[in-house]
Amino acid sequence: MKHKGAFLVIIMLFSLTRFSLGIGENTEHKASVVIPDVALLSLQHDGNSNIELMGTSSSVAGSKIEMGGEATADIWLNYSSVCHKNQKRKVTATVVGEVPEGVIIKVKADNSVGTGKGELGKTNGTVVLSSNPSDVISGIGSCYTGSGVHNGHLLSYQLEIDEDMFYQASENKLASVHVVYTLTDDN
Amino acid sequence: MKVAWVLIFLFGGLLANAQYMEVSVDGMVTFDGVDFIINEAGEDYSPSVESESSVYVSIDFQSFWDALFNPNRKWKIEVAKEDLTWNNHVKLEIKRTEDGYGDWSNNKRKTRIKGGDNYQVVDRVSRDFFSGKGSAYFVPLQLKLSGISVTQGAQDFETNVILTIYDD
C-alpha cells in the first residue's frame, strides 16, 4: 500500500513536469517610436522667382501714375509641419530692403491646392508687407501641402501707391526688395 | 524489482523529454527623428521606415544535460506585441536578417533555423515567426514601421515585442 502511494505521487509529478514542457517561455524587447516636431518651408516656381512690378506713366497730362496692379509669378509656397495636438503654426512674410516712399507692397496667398493632406493653413487674404513680419497664412497644424508647383499656396503680389507720400518723396528709380517667408509657431 | 523498472522507465522518459529551450533578446529598437525623414518641404514621411539590426535573439538549452542528450531538439518562435501606447494607424513588421551562430564559443557552427526572413506583421495575436533545431545565438532582427504620416502630429508611442519559444 505504501509503495502504491509513492508510485502515484511519482506519476503525478512526472505528469506535471511533462505538462509544463508544453508551455512556452517568452522574452520581450521594447520598440519605441518618437515622432519629432518638424517645420519645413520652401518656395517653388518654374523658372525665375523674381517679380517685376512697374508703374506706368500716364499718357494724359494731369492723370495719376498707375502701378503694376496684381502680379502672379507662379510662385507656390510648400510646407510640411509636424506639431503637437492643439499647437498651431503660421507663415509670416517680411520685406528685406528699402521700399520706395509711398509704395505699398501687398501679398496674397491663395488657399492650399494639390496633393496636400492634414490641417492645412488658411489664407489671411491680402496683407501689407513691411520690415515687420506679417501673417500671411495661419492655423497650420500637422500637415503637408505636397511639393512643387501647383501644390500648396499660390502667391500673388500687388503694388499700391500712398499718393500723399509718393508724390512728395519718390524718385524715378529701381527698387529691389526681398520677401522672406517663415513658418513659425503661432502662440 | 518491478517498481524499480517502472521508475527507470519514467525518469528515463522524463530525461529524454526535459528539453526546455530558452529564448533571450539583447537590445531595443527606437525609431526617432533620424529615421523619419522629409526630403523636401511639402512632402510626407517615407511610406515605411526600417530599424537598424540592433536587436538579437538567442535560443539556448536551459541546461547542459538538455544540450547533451538532445542537441537536435526542435523549437519554434512565435511573435506578438503588447502595446504600452500605440498609434493604430501604424503597422509594425518584423523579420530576421541573418541566421546568427550555432555555437556560442567560436561562432563557426551554422544555425539550423528556417523561416522568418520576410517581413510579417506583428500584432496582439501571437503568430509563428521562425523555427529551428538546437541552439542559435545572435540572430539579428529588423523591424519596419509603415503608415506613419506627418498628419498624425508629433507623438511618442511604444510597444513590447514578445518572442515566445515552444517545443515544435
φ, ψ at B23 (rounded to 5°): -120, 140
For residue B86, being part of any structural domain is answered with yes
Residue B121 lies in a domain: yes
What totals of helices (H) and strands (E) does chain B contain, helices first? Answer: 2, 11
Judge whether A28 lies within some domain.
Answer: no
Supply the pLDDT for residue B2.
58
Q: Quick check: A167 and A117 in contact, CB under 8 A? A: no
**Residue A25 φ/ψ region, left for φ over 0, alpha for ψ in the -120 to 50 degree band, beta for the rest:** beta
Residue A21 has a pLDDT of 47
Number of domains in chain A: 1
Kindly state whether A112 is in contact with chain B, defined as any CB-CB distance less than 8 angstroms.
Answer: no
Please indicate, yes or no, if residue B5 is contained in any of the structural domains.
no
Q: Which residue of chain B has the CA closest to A12?
A: B10
Tell me, yes or no, whether A106 lies in a domain: yes
14-53 in A: which are within 8 Å (CB) of B? 14, 17-18, 21-22, 24-38, 40-42, 44
Question: What is residue B63's predicted lDDT score, i.e. its pLDDT?
Answer: 80
- Model confidence at B67, in pLDDT bands (50, 70, 90)? confident
Determine, yes or no, domain membership for A127: yes
* Inter-chain touch A78–B40, beta carbons under 8 Å: yes
Does B3 fall in a domain? Answer: no
Q: Report how many domains make up chain B.
A: 1
Query: B78, A24: Cβ pair inside 8 Å?
Result: yes
**Confidence (pLDDT) at A131:** 95
For A167, list phi and psi in degrees, rounded to 5: -75, -20
The set of cell numbers assigned to B18 is 526535459
Give the domain extent around B161.
Answer: 21-167
The average pLDDT across A96-123 equals 93
Whether B94 maps to a domain, the answer reads yes
Residue B9 lies in a domain: no
Indicate whether A166 belongs to any domain: yes
Of A46-55, B39-48, B124-133, the least confident: A46-55
- Domain-embedded: residue B7: no
Put simply, the chain B residues between 44 and 83 with a CB less than 8 A from any chain A CB are 44, 51, 55, 57, 78, 81-82
Which candidate, B4, B29, B12, places its Cα nearest to that of B143? B29
Pick the more confident residue, B19 or B78: B78
Of B38, B24, B155, B21, give the one whose Cα is nearest residue A32.
Answer: B155
Least confident range of A36-50, A65-79, A95-109, B70-84:
A65-79
Contacts A22 to B, Cβ<8 Å: 166-167
